[in-house]
Amino acid sequence: MKNLTIRVVKTEPELAAMLHQRWLVLRKPLGMPRGTESDRYDGNALHVIAVNSDPAVSASQSLLQPVIGSARLRELSPGVGSIAYVAVLPEFQHQGIGSALIQHLIELAKEQSFSQLRVMARASVIRFYQRFGFVARAETVNYLGTPHRFMDLNLNGEAG
């Protein structure tokens, strides 16, 4: 997409806009209310967003750029990062935005010298993560009524 910027969330209003976008994509379709899109780790995590940085759009939206995509990275244990809440607005999916978000988080994880990344992936998006080298564990976990599998990416090896 033209004029797309992937960057870390910088301000409280941006964080609020991101949480709303996260809810729209990940919780509203499950019939879950506002508030269910956040957990206690959000305060200490890195959040990346995809925003339309087209000057024409920015000007018409005052100072806040609309959040199109978002994803979170946090430290799970020393050297191990966790990716969660990966979400792209339905009308912008299949344009490479989700991939750009994951690529950005992988770079941030490397900067933080993480050796491994983990994600709990919906069964429907396992192929999406495999493209980056994530490997799915055998067991299936039920989360929010949907089958998920933990997937790991080694950042030290050749696949990193």
Binding region for ligand COA (CB under 6 A): 25-26, 86-88, 93-99, 121-122, 125, 127-128
The DSSP result for 93-129, as a single string, is -SSSHHHHHHHHHHHHHHHTT-SEEEEEEEGGGHHHH
Q: How far is the CB of 62 from ligand COA (least distance, A)?
A: 26
Amino acid (1-letter code) at residue 70: S
Q: How far is the CB of 120 from ligand COA (least distance, A)?
A: 7
Q: How far is the CB of 53 from ligand COA (least distance, A)?
A: 17
Residue 3 or 99: the one with the smaller Cβ distance to ligand COA is: 99
Q: How far is the CB of 100 from ligand COA (least distance, A)?
A: 7
Residue 46 or 125: the one with the smaller Cβ distance to ligand COA is: 125
Chain mean position to CA 92: 14
Pairing of strands 46-52, 4-8: antiparallel
Distances (CA, A) of 134 to 77, 85, 90, 129: 18, 16, 23, 6
The residue number with the shortest CB distance to ligand COA is 98
Residue 15 or 26: the one with the smaller Cβ distance to ligand COA is: 26
Residue 58 or 92: the one with the smaller Cβ distance to ligand COA is: 92
Cβ atoms within 10 Å, residue 137:
12
